[in-house]
Structure formats: structure tokens, C-alpha cells
């Protein structure tokens, strides 16, 4: 069920427009920023990026990469810049599909 959620979330995030152009914005995608943001729920670290870098050094992979298939982890600031214009309603369909599965 978790992987189905990740697939639905990725498919939805790939439809988000990328309003930012140039600079580091070409290095990071809105999809990776969205999936990285959701992966925060799997850590207990006060610094998401530092935790992921340390995990990658220790284990060779990090949560966003191994659980969500994120290619490049952006900084907190870069993720916010990429996701600022995404409204909660744009994830409504994924939310309700997941809710129905969990409630069944």
C-alpha cells in the first residue's frame, strides 16, 4: 500500500508546474521537492537535510532516495521556493484516495 501511495504522489507531483527557472532551479525538480517534503515524516531529526546527508554517508542511501525515488535532495529553502505556489487542494485527490484505502 505504501508503494501505491508513493506512485500516486509522484504522478500528481509530476503535474505541478515549475514556476522557477535558471540558477539551481534546473538542478532540482518540483517532483523531487514534493517527495522530499513528504519524506520528512519518516525522520526525527531537527535538520532534514543534515540527517539525509549523514544517512547517505553511513548507508549509501537516504530516505527520500530509497523510499520515494528522489533523484536530488534540495535544501529546505529551495524546496520551499519550488513548492510555495502548490496549494493543498492540488494534493486533495491523493489524500482522499489514500484515506479511502486506509478506511477500508
Q: Is pLDDT larger for residue 45 or for residue 13?
A: 13
- Cα–Cα distance between 76 and 51 in angstroms, integer? 12
Nine cell digits for residue 85: 505556489
Q: What is the mean pLDDT of residues 56-78?
A: 75
Per-residue pLDDT band for 96 (boundaries 50, 70, 90) equals: very high
Residue identified by cell 527520500 is: 64
- What's the confidence (pLDDT) of residue 29? 87
For the entire predicted model, the pTM comes to 0.75
- Cα–Cα distance between 11 and 31 in angstroms, integer? 9
Q: Is pLDDT larger for residue 57 or for residue 103?
A: 103
- Cα–Cα distance between 10 and 69 in angstroms, integer? 9
Residue 27 has pLDDT above 70, yes or no: yes
Nine cell digits for residue 19: 514556476
Amino acid at each position: 500500500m505504501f508503494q501505491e501511495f508513493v506512485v500516486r504522489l509522484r504522478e500528481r507531483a509530476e503535474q505541478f508546474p515549475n514556476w522557477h527557472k535558471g540558477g539551481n532551479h534546473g538542478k532540482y525538480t518540483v517532483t523531487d521537492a514534493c517527495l522530499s517534503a513528504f519524506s520528512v515524516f519518516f525522520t526525527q531529526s531537527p535538520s532534514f537535510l543534515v540527517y539525509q546527508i549523514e544517512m547517505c554517508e553511513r548507508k549509501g542511501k537516504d530516505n527520500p532516495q530509497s523510499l520515494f525515488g528522489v533523484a536530488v535532495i534540495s535544501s529546505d529553502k529551495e524546496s520551499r521556493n519550488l513548492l510555495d505556489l502548490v496549494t493543498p487542494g492540488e494534493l486533495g485527490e491523493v489524500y482522499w484516495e489514500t484515506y479511502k484505502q486506509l478506511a477500508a
